[in-house]
Amino acid sequence: MSDTCDPSWLLNTGFGFWSSKVLLTAVELEVFTALSGEKLTGEELSSKPGLHPRGIWDFFDTLVALRFLERDGDGREARYKNTAETALYLNKHSPAYIGGFESYEVLHLAGPCSAAIAYKRDDNKSNRRLSAERHHDKTDPYP
């Protein structure tokens, strides 16, 4: 293999959906609306969209790493807030709101945002049932 080969574009393409899934999940759970003008701890913020406590830190810190949220402080006392862009465009109360793209059916062809469901639901059976409901199939394919 040549020293001039660089696989970064392959990896960026292959894993590029991860950041969009995180964003779609946050929009679907109305995280940016919950933060409307507020700075909240992870626990305070997780209670608004009803997230499971198991994944709140990873989820919110991922939003920080992707520059969708800002964080003041560290640990349990850290406070999360919207960026200027997410406050303007992804808060449902903003007249410039452009969210809602997560509801386009084409974005759900591969199933629901697995990260959101993992944080919002306690078990895999609930995940599959929610997926079936989202796809207008009221039966659970995995009883």
Class of domain 13-130 as given by CATH: mainly alpha
Q: Where exactly are the structural domains of the chain?
A: 13-130
Q: What is the pLDDT of residues 36-92, one digit of tens each?
A: 999 999 989 888 766 777 888 899 999 999 999 999 999 889 999 999 999 999 999
Task: Give the number of other CB atoms < 10 A from CB of residue 122.
Answer: 10
Which contiguous run of DSSP H or E holds residue 80? strand 79-82
Cα separation, 104 vs 121, in Å, equals: 22
- What does the pLDDT read at residue 121? 43
SS3 at position 43: helix
Q: What is the pTM of this model?
A: 0.66
- What does the pLDDT read at residue 110? 47
Which contiguous run of DSSP H or E holds residue 11? helix 8-15
What is the average pLDDT value for the chain, to the nearest integer?
77
Which contiguous run of DSSP H or E holds residue 42? helix 42-47
Instruction: Give just the sign of the alpha carbon dihedral 128, 131, 133, 139.
Output: negative
